[in-house]
Amino acid sequence: MAEEIKDPESKGNIVLVTEGPSIPSPEGRRIVSAWSIALFGAIATLFTLCAVWPEPYLDVVAFLPDGILTTFEVTALSICCAVPMGLITGLGRISRNTFINLTASTYVEIIRGIPLLVQIFYIYYALSKFLQVSSLTSAVVAISFCYGAYMGEVFRAGIHAIPKGQTEAARSLGFNRFQTMFYVILPQPWRTILPPVGNECIAMLKDTSLVSVMAMPDLMQRGRSFAAKTYLYFETYTIIALIYLIITLVLSKGVSIMESKLNYYDRKK
């Protein structure tokens, strides 16, 4: 989900590309853009369908609010777990300790080699053999473990993008390795890694649709239930697709605004 490439126009800086949606440029000022066309097009389509054909489109929308809340709940809990796991994994990947480095690297390789759907099934049934856990817990654990590995690569790349001179300068001032990392290095890459981390969080929200296989009442599962009752599969999945699109576009704009704020504070400094 995360890939490192060299941008020939960025003077060697690392650019992180993920499978999530494109984050709108924080410098963009155009009223008409790909993001605005997609967002307002999706909203207009949703309202038009509900206004012109309230049956079944409005009925589908009325059936989905509980699923939307569950989707956000799973996403929020997974982000709270995946981001710290990603930071720890990224630090482990650059650690000079052979055991820590090997453990973090093995975790990343294993997780990246297994599809998320398989991980969800495995964790759900593996945990249920030993513990009485809810489908929500299993879903959060599976998504957190999966995206923790990918975010680990994002953090590792972001830390490596910091010039080595920063470390050398901190060590020359008497900082030990721990102080250098947490007081000098880690505060710097946030502006660089915010877009890919935000992208991974949005991709995480989209991948919560996979937890419907555990009969969790998320957006996708509620849609499947409605379609199974009414046999209106095309209409139901059209509404679900539009809702996912609107949510991801709004969140991508939120990440863009946060990036713009960070750039503004950096310029003030």
What one-character DSSP code corresponds to residue 260?
H
- The pLDDT score that the predictor gives to residue 263 is 67
The predicted-structure confidence for 159-177, as pLDDT tens digits, reads as follows 888 888 888 888 888 888 8
Q: Which of 141, 112, 167 is nearest to 2 (CA)?
A: 112
What one-character DSSP code corresponds to residue 184?
I
Residues 6+ apart with CB under 8 A from 180: 167, 170, 171
Angle, to 10 degrees, between the axis of helix 65-93 and the axis of helix 98-112?
A: 140
- The pLDDT score that the predictor gives to residue 12 is 45
- The pLDDT score that the predictor gives to residue 15 is 46
The predicted-structure confidence for 69-86, as pLDDT tens digits, reads as follows 999 999 999 999 999 999
The predicted-structure confidence for 225-249, as pLDDT tens digits, reads as follows 999 999 999 999 999 999 999 999 9
Structure tokens given for 242: 């539009």
Q: What is the pTM of this model?
A: 0.83
Residue type at position 130: F
Q: What is the mean pLDDT of residues 53-70?
A: 92
Q: What topology does CATH give the domain 33-268?
A: MetI-like fold (1.10.3720)
Q: What is the mean pLDDT of residues 154-163?
A: 88
Residue type at position 162: I
Distance of CA 227 to the CA centre of its chain: 28
Under the banding of pLDDT at 50, 70 and 90, the label for residue 6 is very low
The predicted-structure confidence for 108-146, as pLDDT tens digits, reads as follows 999 999 999 999 988 888 877 777 778 888 899 999 999
Q: Which residue has the higher pLDDT, 12 or 48?
A: 48
Q: To which residue do tokens 């856990």 refer?
A: 133
* Mean pLDDT score across all residues of the chain: 85
Stated as kind and residue range, the H or E segment containing 118 is helix 116-130
The CA distance from 241 to 235, in Å, is: 10
The predicted-structure confidence for 189-232, as pLDDT tens digits, reads as follows 877 888 889 889 999 999 999 998 888 889 999 999 999 999 99
Q: Which of 58, 110, 74 is nearest to 89 (CA)?
A: 110
